[in-house]
Amino acid sequence: MFRKSKVAAFAILASVILATSPVVILAQGQIQVASAENFVKIVERAASKVQSLIDLIYANETALKTIEDVGLLDELEGKVTLYEDEGLVKLAAAQQALADSEYDAAVDSAVEALGVFRAVYSSIHVILEAADLQKGHLIENQGLLEAITRELQRIDRLREILPDETPQEILDLLADAEESLNEARELLFDGYANEAKSAFLDAKVSLSEVYQYLKAQAEESNAWRLRGFCEGLQERIRERFRYGRDQGIDFTGVLQSYGYQSENQFMEALHNRIQAAEVEQDFNIAMQYCEGISQMVQQMEQALNQEINRHQGQIGSGFGGSGSGSSYGRNGGS
């Protein structure tokens, strides 16, 4: 009897990595939110790797028959049950605890799930070795199945983040990629590894166009944010100049100390720098421009404020002197 259900075995690399992770996290005494979330995600990825391997085992009738012939099919079924009834249950408890912000409990349950996964992994690989399946195409194809699964999961996330105004052609590309990935999965289960790889690569081509669209959207969004930031800097320095004019303050000396002959010349230089930032294709370089613009404005703003304070201080002293003289006159007349 061949049981067609989703089952698990633990990938050896994940086993080595995960074996030390809980010690590092728990030794901190107080489990931080990010640490708990990251650890649960690692255990989830481990379960996914396990799932892909056993999916391949149960999709391969020859492999199952070989395992049955060496008398280990019941043992395999027992390990599958252990994984499902204990490992997945503990992982679900960890996920629920995480959702409830119970971070200590989340890590505790994840550690228990990990222990089950590790034990199941070890036992299943003993079974595969006994059936002489350890080095066959069954194991080699696990990496491709995992890659297919990851891309299908990414498609789900892409559908969540694509903007409402996404063109239909982009949505069609996403649908084509999903169809190719599902085809690749079926081909792999049917033993057509080369055809599965070809379908997988077709999906990647379609997804690359979707990613290019998203990148363009992100760059456009970043450009808008950069433009808004720069406009805010412009308005801030304009306000300082405007305030000075209203107060009758001459900023010529301040401007000349920075190499500008007038307010207009400074604002033109500022405008040119902003334009250079906005047309820069590399957003990281644009941000460097932006930092320079910010420093330029901050320096001028500080100098203007110092001149405003100096001017207001002179006015205050003048008022104080006038008031003292008036008072002295009244006292002297009395």
Looking at per-residue pLDDT, the higher value among 73 and 281 belongs to 73
Q: Measure the CA–CA gap between 324 and 319, rounded to whole angstroms.
A: 9
Q: Measure the CA–CA gap between 104 and 40, rounded to whole angstroms.
A: 11
Alpha-carbon torsion (150, 151, 153, 157), positive or negative: positive
Nearest Cα neighbor of 307 from 245, 260, 265 is 245
User: pLDDT for 102-112, tens place per residue?
Assistant: 888 988 999 99
Domain boundary among 108, 137, 166: 137
- 1 in the same domain as 133: yes
Q: What residue type is assigned to position 78 of the chain? A: G
Nearest Cα neighbor of 194 from 152, 149, 140 is 140
- 240 in the same domain as 125: no
User: pLDDT for 242-288, tens place per residue?
Assistant: 999 898 999 999 999 888 999 999 999 998 888 888 777 776 677 77
180, part of any domain:
no
Average pLDDT over residues 18-27: 37
pLDDT bucket at 239, cuts 50 / 70 / 90: very high
Average pLDDT over residues 307-332: 55
7, part of any domain:
yes
Looking at per-residue pLDDT, the higher value among 275 and 199 belongs to 199
**% of residues, the chain, pLDDT over 70:** 78
Nearest Cα neighbor of 113 from 189, 29, 188, 45 is 45
* Whether residue 129 has pLDDT greater than 90: no
* Whether residue 101 has pLDDT greater than 80: yes
User: pLDDT for 146-186, tens place per residue?
Assistant: 888 888 888 887 887 787 788 999 999 999 999 999 898 88
Q: Measure the CA–CA gap between 9 and 139, rounded to whole angstroms.
A: 12
Quote the pLDDT of residue 168.
Answer: 93
29, part of any domain:
yes
Quote the pLDDT of residue 30.
Answer: 42
User: Is the separation of the CB atoms in 200 and 181 below 8 Å?
Assistant: yes
Kindly state the greatest CA–CA separation across the chain. Answer: 126
Quote the pLDDT of residue 174.
Answer: 93
Average pLDDT over residues 304-310: 89
293, part of any domain:
yes
- 4 in the same domain as 124: yes
Q: What residue type is assigned to position 18 of the chain? A: L
Quote the pLDDT of residue 278.
Answer: 76
Residue 311 CB: number of other CB atoms within 10 A?
A: 16
Residue 231 CB: number of other CB atoms within 10 A?
A: 11
* Whether residue 86 has pLDDT greater than 70: yes
Quote the pLDDT of residue 231.
Answer: 83
Give residue for tokens 């920075």. Answer: 258
50, part of any domain:
yes
Q: What residue type is assigned to position 80 of the chain? A: V
Tokens of 121: 């992994």
The DSSP code sequence of 108-140 is HHHHHHHHHHHHHHHHHHHHHHHTT-TTSHHHH
Looking at per-residue pLDDT, the higher value among 91 and 135 belongs to 91
201, part of any domain:
no
* Whether residue 321 has pLDDT greater than 80: no
> What is the total count of domains within the chain?
2
Alpha-carbon torsion (170, 171, 173, 178), positive or negative: positive
Where are the extended beta strands (E) located within 132-272?
Answer: none
291, part of any domain:
yes
Alpha-carbon separation of residue 93 from 79, 96, 163, 290 (angstroms): 20, 5, 33, 47
* Whether residue 189 has pLDDT greater than 80: no
- 34 in the same domain as 125: yes
Domain boundary among 137, 171, 188: 137
72, part of any domain:
yes
Domain boundary among 121, 137, 153: 137
Boundaries of domain holding 278: 219-321
Average pLDDT over residues 113-138: 78
Quote the pLDDT of residue 319.
Answer: 44
Please list, in sequence order, all residues whose beta carbon lies within 8 angstroms of the beta carbon of residue 64, skipping any fewer than 6 positions away.
Answer: 2, 57, 58, 73
Quote the pLDDT of residue 33.
Answer: 62
Please list, in sequence order, all residues whose beta carbon lies within 8 angstroms of the beta carbon of residue 278, skipping any fewer than 6 positions away.
Answer: 223, 226, 227, 230, 286
